[in-house]
Structure 1
């Protein structure tokens, strides 16, 4: 966490961050050298001295050797058969995910995996206004991808797909276009939750979420989405898992854990699913390295990184109306303040202002719990509902004060 960042509590992000789509990958992979085992045959000392030939008993020796060979062969064959049979019946090794798309009992073909997931994949069309820091704000339109995760019409996609959006339209796999609203998002993890606005719309399918922790390098995957334009909707590309647990640093200094794949991921694929050999979603496609000298390096957010946030993301963003700066251990010593969250600004007419909080207050407890970081505040807030009242303990001018803040849903 960058101690110089100021955090907007509602937006899950650093206010003074850079462009959210610019990522810098830090390759710190351990390189392993594989050595093949070598078998050295023993060398016996053989005398150069010629031996006398013995005719007597020669045929007898040959006969005995042949009999011994036959017996040894029979024993060896029986042993191999027994061991092989025993291994097949009792010691079969089954991997968590089949490594390739096939037609055996454990894996789907690539076509079957596509048919299972594609009906739940949607086109996300957005229109909004982007402010290019000082230049006149411009209206913009764009598309991305997403996938339906339940019958209520909730859809997972990337945050950068809907960033700045004023209006969101979702095109379902059956061609039906419906309005959707942004329910919640986490810009640091580049994930957003949408919901179909019309509750009477019947979703065509729901994607099954898999276990991204079970992925292994070399395992085959497919990516589904809408690259470039709507004309290319339901595009499927295939590849392998190139690496797991890639630590990539964003422009705001956040470290994110990603799956690396060589499946083609192009603009518009963002927010679409990465699918394993069981037809389960194991990742959310979100970026690629764009370079003339680089090919086949794309990234996806592991679905296990999002599973624990689905409940919180399915609830509206709860508004506090403050921006804060973390007072870390080092800053605490420099400024002679307690560790906590320093309120930089309070928004007019916000719940924080109504409760009496002011800029310069240092938050040390939230809902009765000691907090020191932005993440700790968010984790507690995400357990609350609209209308809940939380106590906020602050230090103001050396005195401890407590304020009760009623949480409101962000419009």
Structure 2
């Protein structure tokens, strides 16, 4: 057939009229050569105008070299092309999990001296003295304004320890647990930044789902600014990190990490399985930086917790608060003190259960979020607060100062 093609070409040279009718070109032998030569495996360029074929020798088993499809290809440009060396190391997730794992705690309720069966939750050690970050809904019902947590907590890190809640911000779904007397200094998590996350970033979740300790799940950041109203969550407006990591009962309170093994969020919940799969949420670490930052500096000479359980006053829970707490003042907004821990800085300052904090460090506040904005600037320093308090049937504004406990001062064990 190649011979016939050669004769046809020769004929086209001798007969211009025939050539014009059949439109044969002298490049036909080369074209036929390409058609009848078995081609090597290749990638076809997406540039429809050029229809370029990149031969298989440009492929490598370890990585694929990327070429500029807007310029004419040539052997020289292919030879000089620089491969993209940015790739995902095979041990990246392993290393991230290994960095955060020593700081992951498993939490179990303990009532009447007996450890309860079944899962409870997880947490992250944020200070070597035994402070653990977790979710408040493990101990306090957000929808119930009554106090509901008096139990000891079994904390499993390197050893099994006993701890208690020392701070809780119910509307943020965040709590701090303090191990009473750690047997040894604890490994702590490195705190990253949630504001640097982008949709598509890798995410690693750790915890004890279904009581299966130190379970690692992998996913990506699906959304970095998921509004609470989109999730139909009542209460304070806030934003969540959305991920597709597998989160199950027992994961709540555990860490969400970036690929560097840094804490970027606190896992709070997942959508119900019958509604969606792979849709989970976490409180961004930057939102609660005011709570975490004081524990990150081991040089601080004070214990930075306050010793209270707080929730927002809002129109949805106002009537319930008045019904359950006879001493609730006539405050329409502010931060309600649901419980004060005995021997804590808040207790020594004179804060009482039933108070409503309306001014924090000489700044008027309406909710916990505004309190956080002030707290981040006042880590470990004395704080002036003004509370509304019902006294002799009348509202009173009471000025108090919270002074934090020195680390080397012996104090009673914090108890609820």
User: How far does residue 318 in structure 1 lie from its aligned partner after superposition?
Assistant: 5.8
Report the equivalent of 1:30: none
CA 1:235 to 1:300, structure 2 compared with 1: closer, same or farther past 3 Å? same
With over 3 angstroms needed to count, the CA separation of the structure-2 counterparts of 1:51 and 1:212, relative to structure 1, is: farther
2:227 to 247, 271, 293: 247
Give the structure 2 partner of residue 135 of structure 1.
none
- Structure 2 residue aligned with 1:185: 168
Partner of 2:151: 166
CA distance in 1, matches of 2:335, 2:226: 34
The residue that corresponds to 1:219 in the other structure is 201
* 1:334-377 superposed Cα distances (whole Å, 9 cap, x missing partner): xxxxx985899999xx999x99x9x9x999866544x2623456
In the alignment, what sits opposite 2:36?
none
In 1: Cα distance, 2:203 partner to 2:135 partner? 19
Q: Report deviation, 1:191.
A: 1.1
Q: Secondary structure at the match of 1:149?
A: strand
Structure 1's unaligned 5+ residue stretches are 1-49, 55-60, 63-74, 130-138, 327-338
Contact 1:318–1:407 under 8 Å retained in 2: no
Partner of residue 191, structure 2: 209
In 2, the alpha carbon distance for the partners of 1:233 and 1:346 equals: 32
**1:118 matched to which residue of 2?**
101
2:132 to 155, 174, 181: 155
Partner of 2:287: 305
Structure 2 residues not aligned, in runs of 5+: 1-14, 20-25, 28-71, 141-148, 296-302, 316-330, 405-413
Alpha carbons 2:118, 2:210 under 8 Å: kept: no
Structure 1 counterpart of 2:366: 373
How big is the shift at 1:392?
Answer: 6.8
Q: CA deviation at 1:241?
A: 2.1
Give the TM-score taking structure 1 as reference length: 0.56
Distance 1:322-1:244 versus aligned 2 partners, 3 A rule: closer
Distance 2:109 2:206 in 1: 19
2:325 aligned partner: none
**Mapped contact 2:309–2:337 kept (Cα < 8 A):** no
Corresponding residue for residue 272 of structure 2: 290
Q: In the alignment, is the contact (CA less than 8 A) between 1:388 and 1:407 conserved in 2?
A: yes
Alpha-carbon RMSD: 5.0
C-alpha distance after superposition, 1:51-81 (max 9, x if no partner): 6589xxxxxx99xxxxxxxxxxxx9647736
**Match runs of 1:7-406 below 5 Å:** 77=74, 80=77, 84-85=81-82, 100=88, 102-103=89-90, 108-127=91-110, 143-163=120-140, 164-172=149-157, 174=158, 176-203=159-186, 205-229=187-211, 232-249=212-229, 251-311=233-293, 315-317=304-306, 368-369=362-363, 371=364, 373-375=366-368, 376=370, 383=378, 390=385, 403-406=398-401
Cα gap change, 1:309 to 1:269, in 2 (>3 Å): same
Contact 1:323 1:346 in 2 (8 A): no
Structure 1 residues 294 and 315, CA, compared in 2 at 3 Å: closer, same or farther? same
Q: Residues 165-220 of structure 1: CA distance to partner in whole angstroms, max 9, x if unpaired?
A: 42112011x3x1111121212211111111221144221x2222222223232333
* CA spacing shift, 1:165–1:266, aligned 2, 3 Å: farther
Residues 312/325 of structure 1: CA separation in 2 closer, same or farther (3 Å cut): farther
**Change beyond 3 A, Cα 1:165–1:270:** farther
Q: Distance in 2 between matches of 1:140 and 1:76?
A: 67
Q: In structure 1, what is the Cα distance between the partners aligned to 2:203 and 2:359?
A: 45
1:304 partner SS: helix
* Residues 76 and 214 of structure 1, relative CA distance in 2, 3 Å threshold: same
Contact 1:367 1:392 in 2 (8 A): no
Query: Deviation at 1:153?
Result: 2.1
If the length of structure 2 is used for normalisation, what is the TM-score? 0.56
Within 2, Cα distance between the matches of 1:304 and 1:294? 27
C-alpha contact 2:290 2:375 (8 A) present in aligned 1: no
Larger radius of gyration: 2
